[in-house]
Every structure is written in C-alpha cells, then in structure tokens.
Structure 1
C-alpha cells in the first residue's frame, strides 16, 4: 500500500500551488467574493489549461485519465487557497456522475466541454423535506410520447446559480430513482451565496424537458458511489484548509506582542497550538484512509471507511477552527482577515451530504469501523 504521493502527484500539487499562490492570496479572494459573479472565469480557463477540469475523465473525452488520488491532491491545494470556483459542483459531482452513469454518446457530448471549461454542471438532489436522504423524493420524471419531463423543487444546489446543465434525481412512474439531464434554460432558480462564499441555488423544475442520464433504471448506486468520492475529496479539502489555519495561527502567535514579547513564548498557547497540530494530523491520516478505501471492492466497507473519516475530519476542523479564532482574538472574526473564511468553509463541509450525527449513526449501524 503506497502512502506517499507519487512523483506525478507531487508535480500536480506543485503546479496547482504555484498558480494559486500567484493568483489567490487573501486580498484577491476577497475581491472575488465582492465581485458580481463571486468567482473568476479567467482562473477557470487556467484550470482547464492545466487539465484540472478533466482530471479523472477518460482521455477520449478530453480528460487526463487520472484517479481519485490526483483529485484529492488538487482538492487539498484548493482547500489551502479557499477556491471559490464551482469545481466541486461541476467536476467532482456533475462530471463524475456523467462519467459513471452516462452513455458513450452523452459522455462525448458533455465531458469535453467540462474539461475545456466551457460547460458548468450542478447535481440537484436535496429537497426541502428530505434531510440527508437520497430516496425521500417528491420530484418526478414523466414520460409521454417518448419524451421525458421533470417536475419538482430542489434546494441548496451547489453551483446551481451558474450551471448550464443540471443532473437531477427524480422518481419515475415505476418507483425507481433515475438521473436526468435538464438544461439551465428550462428552470427557475433562486441564486444565493452560501456562508462560505460558494454559489448555490434553489431550483424549480416545472415540466422541464429532460433526458435520462444513461439508463432510466434505478441510478441510486451511481449516486452513492460518486458521493463516496466527493466525501473523500472534501476531507482532503478540509485538511488543506486546516493546515492553512494552523500556520496562520502560528505566524500570528510569533508576531503578536504582549508584555514586550511575542505571545508564542507563553506555554499555554504553545500547548493549544500543539493540540491543533494533533487534530490536523488525525484528520490527514483519516483523509488518506478515505482515499485509499475508494479502491475497495467491498462497497459497504468502503462507504463505512469514508463516513468514519468524515466524522474525524469534521471534528478536527471544528477544533482547529475554534482554536484559530480564539488565538487570533477579535481579528479572527473580521472579513478582512482570512481565518474566519477558513472556519466558514470547513463548517459548510461538515454539513455537506450529511452531518456528524447522521454519519455516526450510519457507521454504527454498519458495525463500526473496526468490527469484531
């Protein structure tokens, strides 16, 4: 089992870090947050030029043919920079769903545009009363004269504010859950910014023309597999954000003066910074476990490992974030200082796809992580 990054993964990490260091400092990000669109289409084009938008797609569809390990490497760097572009919505969720469930014709029609930065996707699954359930759906897909339409409302659709194409979960007439492609021009959307600055929307589908993604048969397996991947790489993003929070805090302790000396000399603050480092390393180890678990053929075991990793990562990010805010004092809560932005992003990650209580219940119902 290989625990270190490969040479190719290190090169990928260095390339992404180099770009973000030049273009994504705290002031540049704050300017993007305050812009009309809230993210940079110019940077999106550069991601495409680096091959990041098609990283895991087959080469025949304009991708690089890489795996989840490379995707996790990119997401960790994005976490350090707090990237605002709709990468998770378009590439991690939308692109992975098309690659997993789409027909060869659909892949050829959609994935090259995604890889080239010309097409934005969004996965619309959550409904007002569904909580974290993937099966408690009121959105319906109806077939008439060989054509499909979708009706219903989805909430908290990540990237739904800018998506060109929606991938929608809907229940068909026979009771199964299918995935359907719906044009962004066929929906009504209420766009907004999440607490972390990323764009989202509540989307209304009213007899919207739709095309089944792949087979109309139950697509729940594809959705669950893609969410496993998305959860694992979100763990990596959170690790990148925690790493940055820790070292911002350490730098602040070394420069903040109290009683004529930097506050880093006070042992109590050193202990708290050390505890932050322990939490970070626990999260890093579990994020690695989640990534490695995705190669497991045992679907239930794989999912349990990913869920367990997310529990630890969410707990670590809460601890690191709270300590970072407290050790920075009042400045940590200001919009002009980056630490608060990192705390917001990790808090949103902790509520993405499932909260901690739901994950603990799921891992427990599966017999725990270690088992008998």
Structure 2
C-alpha cells in the first residue's frame, strides 16, 4: 500500500502514527476485548479516554481553569447559531468581521438571532487581505466580536489577534487550531471543526469562558445550550466517541513532537517553502497580501488556466492529491495542516518546478 500526500482542505490527512495506533487498537482497546467504537460513552473505559483527551488538549493550549472544553457535534456550522444563542446574554447587537466565505456564513446565520454590525470587511479587494484594525467600525453595545482567523477557501489569515477589551472575542479556528500556540485567555470563545487539525469529521471543539454560559435566548434547543454540555461533561447525549478518541491520539502525537511551539516551527517552514516556490516563478501566482497569507491553506493559479487539468492529473499520478481549488475561486489549493509532512510539501514543490519547466 502506498499512501498519498492528501492536500484536501478537509476532511484532511491524519498523522500516520495516529492511524497506526488506531489500527493496533481497533479490535481490542487496552485489554477490554472491544473496539472504542463499541464502548458505552458512560463506561469507565471510554470515560478514561475522554478525560485524557481533555487533559492533553488543556496542556497543549494552556487553557485556563476558568474555561470549559466541550466535545460536541454539528461542525463549525452549528456554532454559527450556537454562539449568538448563548452569548447575546440580554443584548441585541453583535460585531462580525468579514474576510471571506466562512465569515459570510457565520454572519448570515447570526442575523437570524441578532442585529449584526459588520465592523470590517475585505470584500473590496476580493478578500485577499485583512482589514486594518484602525478602520474597524465597532458597536458600543456589542455582545461579542466574531472573526475567522483563517479563511480556508481564500487562504487569508490574521497575523494578529484583535484587541476587544471587555467585549468577548469569538473565533472560528477550524483551520488553524493547534497549528501554533495561542493565548486562550484573550478569547471569550473558540470553536473548531475537527476535520483539519484535530481528527476526523464529526467532532467539534468549543473552548468557552465560564462566565459566558448559562443565559441563552428564549427557545434555544437544549442541545444548543453550552451550559447543558458543560454540566454533563459533553455527555448529555451520546457524543462522537470514536472521533473523540482519535482526537486524543492526535493530542498525544502533538505532545510527543514537543507541543505547539514545535508544531509552529514545522508549519512555518512548510508554508515558507511553498510560498517561495510560488513567488519565485512567473508561472504560478498567489493573490493574497503577503502579510496575510495562510500557513494552512495555500491557493495558487497557473499562468495558463488551460493547463489546470493537466497539472492536477499529473500531480495525482505522483500521489499529490486533492489540489483542485475551491469552485468559487478556481485554480489550485494546497492545504498543509499539521499532519502534512514536510516531505509532502517538498514533493509538491519539486513537481511544480518540473511542470513549469516542461509547460512554461
């Protein structure tokens, strides 16, 4: 069997050591005689898995004690509704920053529950940058400010964390969580779908400050109440147990590498190598402001788009898969999350140089 270098934006690659460990434990976890997929979520065996996963995530991210860590379902898209349902807390107005496709989806959903003020937008330049902070038009009475630190489709990333004072800062970190250290204490709430840097699709992580939960909008479904999940250790209903287990293995893998500081160094090297290849060529181009380029999602175009199909076919033949750009922007996109080894980026860069030499 030959594994490919999978550049998918998500579901994405998982670390091979994690997959090997899961394979080893597939039929019998720790002498229980059963797979994790067969365990009761309330049994001692799975409870130990769940507790270890939360403990390791808290260690990795240095999560303060006054934050709850929730292992939920519904993806980041469910959080687009859960955030205003839980965080309005008697207020009616919220601030959102629009930097691309996922910001827009969050804004559209929030408008069902609140008066949304778009405090800043980079629509004018095609979502190829981050709005300068001094241009933001924030509300005086906002319940929170929401932003998307990394836009998976457009490849735009905030190189800084907004300073919001007493207004809770909310971040959709689906595509950047665990890619580098982050000061959790600067946020009121962080949420992330698992399928990029955490584990398989189906699990969602929410990290929320305790004082922000317990006052939901009237009519909020029980399953959308953070306090319900916090009070029940994320087991009010049957959680995505196998996804939780695999996430725990990813956390162990990261700790074994040296934590998020070590992971950040690897990710920065990978991104720099790919951007250097793009910038050093007249054949490839990236439209994003260099100051706001994503470490995780690297879109690029060919000088002659008629060659796109050939590029993708040849790349796939070499085991470089899922490079086609999102349909809304076209071109190519290489997602190089934590599990993408440096060897995969080097193989892509070598192919790009060879393709340019033959077709340029």
The alignment's TM-score, normalised by the length of structure 1, stands at: 0.26
The alignment's TM-score, normalised by the length of structure 2, stands at: 0.27
Bigger share in helix:
1
Which structure is higher in RCO with an 8 Å CA cutoff and minimum separation 6? 2
